[in-house]
Amino acid sequence: MDYITALEVLFTLIFRNILFEDSRKKYINIIIPLSIILMFLNKYILIGMPNIAMTIIISIITVVIWILNKEKLIYVILQIITSTMIMFLDEIIALSFVTILNKFVEINAEYITITLVLLIWISTTYLLEKLKYNGKLKFIYNLQNNKLFLNILLNITLVFVLFKTLNDNYLLTGEVAVQIAVYIILFVVLSFNLFISISKELNEKHKLQMENNFRPILEDYIHKLRANEHEYKNHLNAIYSIIQVSDEKEIKSNVNKYIGNIKENNHLNNLLYVDNTILKAILYSKMSLAEEKGIDIKYDITSNLEKIDLDDMDLVVLLSNLLNNAIEGAEDVDNPWINVVISEINNKDEKEYIIRVSNSIKNINEIDLSSITDKGTTTKGENRGYGLYNVKKLVKKVNGNILLEMENNSIIIEVII
């Protein structure tokens, strides 16, 4: 039936919107005319070949979403194939149930199957919304894994299409169809298990590679930390001198003031309490760069971003761009400064991480907050202005928020993930 194929496309898009967008109604205005075209193709041109017509329409939808969302094509293909696979899996479950039921009770199998498929599609829609999977399929966006995942999804989808084509043309008997459906479900489970296993191995290798890349930075940090140990004797001598030359009433105040200055400037020791290797390496490298440029940088780190919804590569891109942007903004100012705060909030469902970077800035009245994260927006010349744009893309990818604020000749960028 022509309208069934149109419904297949419709629910594929709905599933895709639930999994990867904020609204399940997005692009529905595109689906309606495409569904009419699809029914026309099925009835007058591709007679008896509904799967080919559906493939053509889904391909068109993929290209349209790719153009409108401005995402990488492979990401959009992964989204559509994932959603199509869920739609086909629902159909196979419904068909298997009706086939088994038909062995015991005489029923109108065709209409019962259609009704059951619709009910399962609606139930799947409700279930996906309740499970709140929106934005959580981050492994699909993992650059080192997406080709592997795409190949697995393509294999599964082709198996589904083959099964559906044979069944639609009545080439499968009831019992054989059920058996093949069971095998397909097992194939799906085993394929995903394979992907998870390989993905874990790749992630471990990638993590080791990242740590090796940051090792020179950490070795430099350790070297400076050891060299800094010799300064403690000087600090003790200074405190002793303060005690000797100060009045009895002023001793406590002067010593506390001196110790306070030591704590405020002792960035190296403060980094010892940061357990996240990547976070420590980035903070140290950017702190060193800022100090070379004469920028006073302070930070308050109360979270190691242990379970943040970003892989190591994305975390490096996010932090590096935020800190580079702050350094570039502050370096042209008299008495430049940067403040970095990284913290976490424990909500009922999950943790929420906050990365807040503020810095002094010149010509604050010339900055347009509404466009500062747009691609190419910069005050530093050509081929610049991609830092905050990349930050915005990463935050959007994991359904986070980015807040911008200006006050007292400073700009504040707060990322919530």
At 264 the pLDDT is 47
Determine the CATH number of domain 272-416: 3.30.565.10
Strand, coil or helix: 152: helix
Q: What is the pLDDT of residue 102?
A: 78
- What is the distance between the alpha carbons of residues 317 and 314, in angstroms, rounded to a whole number? 5
Burial class of residue 202 (count of CB atoms within 10 Å of its CB; 0-12, 13-18, 19+): middle
Tokens of 33: 């005319």
Helices and strands, counts by H and E, the chain: 13, 5
Q: At what angle do helices 277-292 and 174-229 cross, to 10 degrees?
A: 40
Q: How far is CA 278 from CA 174, 210, 272, 329, in A?
A: 56, 8, 13, 24
Q: How many CB atoms lie within 10 A of CB 122?
A: 13
Least confident of 23-27, 133-137, 342-346: 133-137
Enumerate the β-bridge partners of residue 352.
345
The string of pLDDT tens digits covering residues 362-401 is 877 777 777 677 665 555 544 445 678 888 888 887 878 8
- 44-58, 216-230, 242-256, 333-347: segment of lowest average pLDDT: 242-256
d(CA 272, CA 224): 12
Residues 6+ apart with CB under 8 A from 307: 350, 351
Task: Give the tens place of pLDDT for each residue, 7-59.
Answer: 887 888 888 888 877 566 666 677 677 767 766 766 666 665 666 767 777 78
Q: End-to-end distance of the chain based on CA atoms, in angstroms?
A: 45
Structure tokens of 186? 């097992």
Q: Which residues contact 321 (CB under 8 A, 6 or more apart)?
A: 387, 388, 390, 391
Residue 86 identity = I
Give the three-state DSSP class for 56.
helix
What is this structure's pTM?
Answer: 0.57
C-alpha–C-alpha distance, residues 299 and 183, integer Å: 56
**pLDDT above 60 (res 232):** no
Confidence of residue 255 (pLDDT cuts 50, 70, 90): low
Residues 120 and 144: their CA atoms lie apart, in Å, by 34
Averaged confidence pLDDT in the chain: 76
Domain residue ranges in the chain = 2-204, 230-265, 272-416
Beta strand pairing status for 337-346 and 296-301? parallel
CA dist., res. 87 & res. 73, Å (int):
21
